[in-house]
Amino acid sequence: MYTQSTVASIRTRCVVAFKVYDIDDDGVLQAGELLQVLKLMVGSNLTDADLAEITSRTMAALRKSDTSSGGVTWEEFYLAMSSVDVRRLMSLVPECGSPICDL
């Protein structure tokens, strides 16, 4: 059970993560954006085929509705992130104070 402050922290981390992934800032996470961020995160440790597979699976897991763009809305993203061990997942997102949080 999360405390109210932990829930707020999780939401803040989700907001930061969504902003990182939503490169064109249109409010929808597209597969191409997720792929670009994953490439930056893993460098050459995975093949393009592996990254495409991870992107496809992740988008399918995040998407709850059939949006016209095929992307993932903020609401879908937050709902998905709230239903898993978010603290563990979001440990990949740097703490605020790092340059990536200055979005």
Dihedral in degrees, nearest 10, Cα atoms 15, 19, 20, 23: 160
Smallest distance, Ca ion to C-beta of residue 33, A: 5
Nearer to Ca ion, 16 or 28 (CB): 28
Q: Which helix or strand (DSSP H or E) is residue 14 part of?
A: helix 4-21
Q: What is the largest CA-CA distance in the chain?
A: 41
Residue with tokens 């703490």: 95
Q: Which of 6, 8, 26, 57 binds Ca ion (CB under 5 A)?
A: 26
Smallest distance, Ca ion to C-beta of residue 41, A: 17
Q: Which of 6, 8, 24, 50 binds Ca ion (CB under 5 A)?
A: 24
Nearer to Ca ion, 9 or 58 (CB): 58
Distance CA 69, CA 7 (A): 29
Nearer to Ca ion, 24 or 48 (CB): 24
